Amino acid sequence: MIFHKITILILLSFSFSVYQVGDQISAGDQARVFDVCYGAEHHGIEGEAGRYNLSFGDYNGFTNDTGIFYVLMIDMAASW
């Protein structure tokens, strides 16, 4: 019985994922701004007053000021 509950829980967790491999990020998600905690200066991310922000729209040639397109590989990892 516990095996069935765990299996159902795992299958439900997969149903809530928004993006799959090869999907394009929506315009709304590209507009979201994230704080950069480490490595902003090294990777050329500009900021003001010690705060560095990043959005995926910065890498879209249609929405950034440079017109340069980028291909991103997003790796989500946790060590808990």
Question: Does any domain span residue 56?
Answer: yes
Report the run of H or E that residue 34 belongs to, with start and end. Answer: strand 34-35
Asked if the structure places residue 64 within a domain, the reply is yes
Classify residue 79: in a domain, yes or no: no
Residue span of the structural domain in which 32 resides: 22-74
Residue 8 has pLDDT above 80, yes or no: no
Sequence-ordered list of residues with C-beta below 8 angstroms from that of 18, at least 6 positions apart, any chain: none
26 versus 77: the higher-pLDDT residue is: 26
- Whether 40 and 66 have beta carbons less than 8 Å apart is answered as no
Query: Looking at the whole model, is its pTM more than 0.85?
Result: no
